[in-house]
Amino acid sequence: MSRFRQLKIGSLALAIAGGFLTNTAFADVYIPEGLSGTALHLSSELKPVSRITGLDNVHGLSVAISRGLLIAGSLSEQSRSEVEKPEAVSSDDHNAHHGKSNNDQSEEVSIISLIDIQTEKVIRKIEVPGMVHHVTTSSDDRYVLVTHPGLDAVSIIDLETNTLTATIPTGSNPNYAVYDPQTASFYVSNTDNATISQVEPKAGYVVRNFKTENGVEHLDFDIDSRRIFAAEADVGEVSVIDIDTGETTSRFTVGGGLHGIAYDQSRNSIYVSARERGAIVYISLETGESEDQLIGPEPYHMTLVGDTLLVSSADEPLIWTVDVETRHVLATIPTEDRAHQMAVTP
C-alpha cells in the first residue's frame, strides 16, 4: 500500500493516499520546485494532486493549454552529451535532435522540457544556450520565450515545430516577460540597464526598447487598458507603464525588496511581494491606497487564481493560499524545495 503523507492545510491535516488526491481536471496550478527537479500539481480546488518528476533545477514554467503542454525551463547548464532521452522518444529521434553538428560549437546548454499535461511525462527536450530564468507562452500557444540572464538575451521556441528558432540580444540581465496579443509581441524586462524590450517572435528581433526609471524584474499585464505593472525590486517601487508609449503613468512606493507581482482586474488592484518585510502589499489602482499583510518569511513568487492569491516563500519550502477579499491565509502547502514561477491552466 502507498505510504501516507500529512499535508497541513490551514488548521486541518489531510491524510492523502500516496501523498496526493486523485483529481486530474484542468484549470489547475503547477508549481516548479527548483533543485528537487519536480513540479507540484494542485487541483482547481488548490489541493495537491500529483508531482511531475524528471525535471532539472526547474524555475520557469508556463502552459500551452491548446497543445496540452507545460513548458519548463532549467536554471542549470549541462554538456550536450549529458542530455537524457525522454522515455516517449526513440533513440534515433533523440540523436537527430541532440547530436552535435559540425557547425555547432556550443557545448553547454540548458533544457526546455515539454510535458504532456494529461500523462505528466516529459515528451520532448529542447536545448537552448545558457541557463533559463523565466518562461512565457504566447496567447495563441505558438511561441515560447525564455530569458537568459547570463547571455543578455532571450530565446524563442516555435511549438508548431518544437524547435529553437532564435536567440535574440535584448538588454542586460533579461528577467521576466509578458505577451501582448494585439501586437503579437513579448515584452521583456532587462533589469540591469532599466529597459523593456518588445520582441517579435515570428521574425525573431527586437522591435523597440523603452527606458524605465529603475531596473524592473517581475511583470504583469492588463491587456484591456494596455498597462504593464512592473516590480522595481531594488528600489522597492511599483511602476505602471503605458505599453504603447512606453511612458510611466504612475508609481507606488512599497519598500521591502520586491519580487512577485499580480494584477487583479476585478478589483482594479495589484499585489506585490515585499520580501524584506515578510508582507503582501495590496495596492488600489483607483485610490492609490495600499495595505500590508504580514504573511511569513520572504514572500516570493505569486499568481492569482480567481479570488485566491498563491504566494511562495524564498526562505521556506511552502506555498500560502490567501483570500484577497478577506486577507485570510486559507492554507499552507509544503513543497519539496523553494517554489518558483507558477503556471495556471485556463
What pTM does this model have?
A: 0.86
Q: Alpha-carbon distance 87 to 54, whole Å?
A: 10
Q: How high is the pLDDT of residue 11?
A: 30
Q: How many CA atoms lie within 13 A of 26 on its CB side?
A: 13
Q: How high is the pLDDT of residue 85?
A: 52
Q: How high is the pLDDT of residue 256?
A: 83
Cβ neighbours of residue 211 closer than 8 Å, sequence gap 6 or more = 194, 195, 246
With H, G, I as helix, E, B as strand and everything else as coil, classify residue 192. Answer: helix
Which run of H or E residues covers position 98?
helix 91-98
Please give the angle made by the CA atoms of 198, 199 and 204, to the nearest 5 degrees: 155
With H, G, I as helix, E, B as strand and everything else as coil, classify residue 250. Answer: strand
Q: How high is the pLDDT of residue 5?
A: 30
Instruction: Collect the ranges in the chain with pLDDT lower than 70.
Output: 1-26, 81-106
Cβ neighbours of residue 70 closer than 8 Å, sequence gap 6 or more = 30, 39, 52, 61, 62, 63, 64, 114, 115, 117, 343
Q: How high is the pLDDT of residue 159?
A: 98
Q: Alpha-carbon distance 315 to 313, whole Å?
A: 5
User: What is the 3-class SS of 199-217, one letter each residue?
Assistant: EECCCCEEEEEEECCCCCC
